Amino acid sequence: MSGTPLHHILRVRSSDDLTYVSPGLMDEIVVNANQLENSIQATTACLWRTTLPFSVDPVLWRFQEPAWTRNDDGETKRNYKRLGLAYGKGTGITLGAVPLLQAVGTDEQWRMIARNAVAYQRDRLRNVSTQLELLADLRDLDPVRLVAPSLVAYSPQEDRINRLMIEAAAEEAQTSVAVEVVVPDERLTDRSDLWQMIEALPVDYVSAYLVWTPKVTEGQLLRDHEMFAVLLRMISELSARGIAVGHQYANYTVAALHDFGLSSVTHHLGWVDKGEPVEVQGIAIRSCQTYVPGVRHSIRFNEAAGLGRDLGPQEYAERYCECTFCSGMFETGHPLDLLLETQTFTMKNGRERHTPTSRAVGANTWHYLLSRRNEVEAFSLRPAVAVIEAAIERASALNRGSDVARLGHLASEIQSA
Amino acid sequence: MTNDRRDTLLDRDWSEVWETLPEAPDLVPRGKTAQITLRLPTTMLARIRRVADARSLPYHALARSWIVDGLRCVDGVHVEVPDEEVQRSQLNLKLDQVTLDNLKTRAHDLHEPYHRLARELVEWATEQAEQELGLDPVSSTQPAIKELMVLLLHASNQRGDSAVRGMTRLQKLLFVVEQKLESQSRFYAFNYGPFNEEVNDAAEALRIAGFIRNASPVAAGPPSFQQMMAAVSERAGPTGEGKVVEFALSEQGHEAAEKLRESNARYEQLFQFIDSVRKEWDTGDLNELVDRVYEAYPKFASKSVIREEVARRTQRRRAR
C-alpha cells in the first residue's frame, strides 16, 4: 500500500456540476476547458467561493475528430469554436473543421498548439474579474498544475506528436507539466507497441502522468484479466519512476490500484458507467439507475428497491449506504423514496418511459459523490484487499451473489498481482 | 515673335510633346496635409486607444498608419460596420495630400464615401491588432453583463419592485439596457428574439456567489444535509404560482451593488441610467415587454419562432 493518501479530484464537465463542488467532499477539482468556455463566470464564481485547488484539462483530443466537438446539427459547438481559436492562434489552423491530424501539417504547428494550450490554462482566468470581484479582493485564479495537451494515442504517430507537445508545453510553462496518457481500448488488447510508448514517455519536466483508457468500462476491466493486468502494469511502471500517477476517469476498481502506486483518482458526477468515450455525450433521457455502495456499482431502480427499501436506518447504513445524505434522509422518511423517485415521460413516438425526477437526480448526485468520497478515504487508509473484503461482506449481507463474486475477483486480481 | 513664326507653331502637331509636359501648378496652392474627421462609436474609439496603449503609440498616428497601410491592400479589407451603433465620437486625423487623394480615388472606385472607407480601414486594422495582441474587443470597453445584472437587480421598476421574474424578462431587460447604452451588442437574434448565453452564465455566477435571494449558494465548506436538500429542491425548479424563477438580490448582493456604485462615478452614472431604463421598460406583463422589444429592435427578432404571434399581438394592442 502506498504511504500517501489517495488524492480525490472531481471533474467539472457542466455548470450543473458546480452545485456539488464543496471543500471536504473532494481535495481538488479539474475543469474541462470546454466547460470554462461554456460558462466562465459561473465556474470562476465557484472557484472563488470554494477556494479549492484546481486545474484545467485542455481536452485537445476532442479536436481529433470533428464529430467530437459538434452539436446535433453538425456544427462545431460555440464553446469549442472559442477554444479552437485560442489553441490555433498563430498557426493559421481552424481547429474542429477537419480531423486534427489532417489540419496540422508541421511539427512547429503542433508545438505552437501545445504552447497555446498551456498559455490558455495559465491565462484564461486572469482577466475575468469584473469590478465586483476586484472590490471583494478575491484570490488570483492560478491552476495548481499545467497539463500538456495530448491526443488519444491510437498509434505511434500520435505517440510522437504527444512527445513533441509535452516538450513544447514544458517550455511554455517553464516548469514541470502533467502528462496525459490516453490509451484507447484497442491498444490495450493489441499492445504490440504500447510498452514502447510507455517507455518513451519523458521523465524530465513531468510532474504527473494522468492515465485514461477511453471506452473501458469497470465491468470490462473485471471481466478481462489481460486488460486489468495492462492497466495495473502501466500504473506501477510509471509510478516506479518516482512521478505521481493519476487516473482521469476512475471508478472503484481503479481506486483499488492505490496499492500499486496510483496517487490520485479523478471522476465526474455521472454514476452510469459508460467507459467514458472520447466523443461529446449528447443529451439523452436519464436512465433509472442509482449507485449502490453496498455492491459498488450502479443498478436499476427496481433492483435497488429490492435491496434496500425494507432496511431500517442501521441496517441500511451497514449494508446499503452510510453516506451523510442517506442518513440525513432517514429523519424525514426513507432515502430510497427520493433516490428512486420517477416520473413518466412521453416520447415523440407516443411511448411512455420512466425517468428519474429532477429531485432524484440531485439526490443521487450527492449520494454518489459522498459514496465515492468514502471509498477514496477507505483506500487511502487501508490496504485495497482489506477494503474490498469489507465490501464483499456488505454485498453478501445484501444477498448479491453475483457482486460477491465480482468483488472477490477484484480482490484475487490484486492479491495475485 | 513674328506672325509667320506664330503661324508655323500653331500649324505644328503637338500631340506627342503634350504627353511629356510637366503638370501645371495649382491655381491655388494646396496645403501639404489635410484633416479628415471620422465619426465612430465611442466603443470603437476606446478600442483604438487600447490597442495604441498596448503598442505604446499615439492613437492618432496609429490610426493614420492603418489608413496608409490599408490603402495598399484595400481589396482584402472587408468590414461590416454595425448599423445600429451610434457614432458619437470623432477622430480627427491629419493625412498628407497624396494619401487623401489615394483614399478618395479608392473610395470612388468602390462607390462609397471616402470617410466611410477610412472608417472601415481603421476598424479592420483594429480588429486585426486586437487578434494579434489577444485583446477581447468587447469586454474591456463595456461593463460586464454580470455588473449590468447586479445594477439592474439593485434598481427597481415603477412599482418599486427590484426582483425580476423569469429568465426571459431578465434577458430582454439587459438587452434593452445594452442597446440604450449604445455599446457593441453582445446579444444576437435567436429563437425567441435577442439572446445572450452570458446572461444565464452571469445569473448562475451570482447564485453561486450568494448574491441571489432564496437560492442556495455553493457551499464554502462541507455542506450540511439541509444545504444538500436545498440544492435538490432548487434543481426541481420553482414551485407555486406561475412557476417562474425569481431573480432578486440577497442582502449580500445589494451590498455588492452599493460598493460598485461607490467605487467609481461611472458606475453610479450607470446605475442611474439602468434605473431609468428599468422604470421605462419593466412596466407590465412579459408579453408587453417582448412586443416592445420586437417592435423597437426588429433585427433581433428576425430569427424568432414567435415573430408572427408577437406581430398579431402588437396589432391587437394597437387596435385597442
Residues A356-381 have pLDDT tens digits of 999 999 999 999 999 999 999 999 99
**Nearest in space to A216 (alpha carbons), one of A228, A208, A204:** A228
Is residue A367 within 8 A of residue A321, CB to CB? The reply is: yes
**What gap in Å lies between CA A282 and CA A277, rounded to an integer?**
12
Q: Does A49 touch chain B (CB under 8 A)?
A: yes
CB contact under 8 A, B217 and A49: yes
Q: Is residue A273 part of a domain?
A: no
| Cβ distance of B236 and A325 shorter than 8 Å | no
Chain A residues in contact with B236 (beta carbon < 8 A):
357-359, 362
Distance (Å, rounded) from C-alpha A69 to C-alpha A280? 6
Cα B77 to Cα B66: distance, rounded to the nearest angstrom = 12
Based on the fold, state whether residues A258 and A324 are members of the same structural domain. Answer: no
Domains and CATH numbers, chain B: 33-133 (1.10.1220), 145-319 (no CATH)
Q: What CA dihedral angle connects B200, B283, B217 and B150, to 10 degrees?
A: 80
Work out the pLDDT band at A63, boundaries 50, 70, 90: very high
Inter-chain touch B260–A362, beta carbons under 8 Å: no
Identify the pLDDT of residue A408: 96
- Partner B contacted by A342 (CB < 8 A): no
Q: A132, B235: Cβ pair inside 8 Å?
A: no
Length of chain A: 417
Contacts of A50 in chain B (CB under 8 A): 218-220
Cβ-nearest to A41 among B201, B222, B232: B201
Residue-wise pLDDT tens digits, A120-141: 999 898 768 787 887 787 888 8
Reduce the secondary structure of A15-28 to three states and give it as a string.
Answer: HHHHHHCCECCECE
Claim to verify: residue A232 and residue A343 sit in the same structural domain = no
Instruction: Report residue A334: phi and psi, to 5°.
Output: -105, 135
Residue A275's Cβ-count burial label (10 Å; 0-12, 13-18, 19+) is middle
Q: What percent of chain B has pLDDT over 70?
A: 88
Q: How far is A195 from chain B (nearest CA, A)?
A: 41
Taking the C-alpha atoms of residue A198 and residue A213, their distance in angstroms, rounded to an integer, is 14
Choose the closest CB to B221 out of A23, A130, A136.
A23
Is A42 close to B201, i.e. CB distance below 8 A? yes
φ, ψ for residue A265, nearest 5 deg: -120, 135
d(CA A389, CA A395): 10
Q: Are residues A300 and A185 in the same domain?
A: no
Per-residue pLDDT at B83 exceeds 50:
no
Q: Give every CB contact of residue B11 below 8 A, 6+ residues apart in sequence.
A: none
For helices A401-416 and A225-239, the axis angle rounded to 10 degrees is 40
Kindly provide the ipTM of the predicted complex, given to two decimals: 0.92
Confidence check: pLDDT of A309 > 80: yes
Structural domain contains residue A274: no
- Read off the pLDDT of each residue in B153-182 and give the average, rounded to a whole number: 94
**Residue A238 sits in the same domain as residue A378:** no
Is the domain of A248 the same as that of A189?
Answer: yes
Coil, strand or helix at B79: coil
DSSP state of A258: G
A19 in reach of chain B (CB within 8 A): yes
On whether the CB atoms of residues B171 and B148 are closer than 8 A, the answer is no
Write out pLDDT tens, residues B253-289.
999 999 999 887 888 999 999 999 999 999 888 999 9
Q: Is the dihedral of CA B159, B165, B169, B174 positive or negative?
A: positive
Same domain (yes/no): A182, A248: yes
What pLDDT was estimated at residue B53? Answer: 67
**Together in a domain, A186 and A330:** no
pLDDT at residue A284 tops 80: no
The pLDDT of residue A226 is 92
Lowest mean pLDDT: which of A208-217, A293-302, B114-123, B198-207? B114-123
| Residue A158 and residue A203 in one domain | yes
B90, B40 contact by CB (below 8 A): yes
Report residue B299's pLDDT band, with 50, 70 and 90 as the boundaries. very high
Q: Tell me: do A324 and A220 sit in the same domain.
A: no
Choice between B82 and A399, residue whose per-residue pLDDT is larger: A399
For residue range B237-263, what is the model confidence (pLDDT) as tens digits? Answer: 776 556 788 999 999 999 999 999 988
Task: Return the minimum-mean-pLDDT range out of A98-112, A163-177, B125-139.
Answer: B125-139
Average pLDDT over residues B300-310: 93
Q: Do A49 and B220 touch (CB under 8 A)?
A: yes
Q: Determine which of B145, B151, B201 to mutate to test the interface with A (most A C-beta atoms within 10 Å).
A: B201
The total of other beta-carbon atoms located within 10 Å of residue A136's CB is: 12
Number of domains in chain A: 2
Same domain, A193 and A252: yes
For cell 471506452, the residue is A215
CB contacts < 8 A (A, B): 115
| Range name among A85-89, A332-336, B46-50 with the lowest pLDDT average | B46-50
Distance from CA of B98 to the nearest CA of A (A): 35
Domain containing A129 — which CATH number? 3.20.20
Residue in A374, A294, A393, A383 with CA at minimum distance from that of residue A335: A294
Looking at the structure, tell me whether residues A185 and A320 fall in a common domain: no
- Is a pLDDT exceeding 60 seen at residue A285? yes
H or E element, residue A267 = strand A262-267
Helix or strand (DSSP H, E) at B63: helix B59-72
Lowest average pLDDT, out of A28-37, A194-203, A294-303, B86-95, goes to: B86-95
Q: Say how far apart CA B312 and CA B290 lie, in whole Å.
A: 13
Q: What is the DSSP string of A55-123?
A: EEE--GGGGGSGGGGB-TTSPBPHHHHHHHHHHHTTTT--TTSS-HHHH--SHHHHHHHHHHHHHHHHH
Q: Which of A15, A16, A19 to mutate to test the interface with B (most CBs of B within 10 A)?
A: A19
Domain for residue A2, yes or no? no
Task: Write the CA distances from B139 to A308, B128, B145, B153, B179, integer angstroms.
Answer: 53, 17, 9, 21, 16
Exposed/middle/buried for A389, CB within 10 Å: 0-12, 13-18, 19+? middle
- Residue B259: which of A15, A135, A361 has the nearest Cβ? A135
**For residue A275, is it within any domain?**
no
| Domain finish residue from A215, A233, A267 | A267
Does A92 share its domain with A134? yes
Query: How far is the C-alpha of A12 from the C-alpha of B269, rounded, in Å?
Result: 38
Chain B residue with CA closest to A116: the answer is: B134
Query: Stretch A94-118: mean pLDDT, rounded?
Result: 95
Q: Which pLDDT score is estimated for B84? A: 45
Domain of A118 in residue numbering reads as 7-267
Q: Region A223-228: what's the mean pLDDT? A: 93
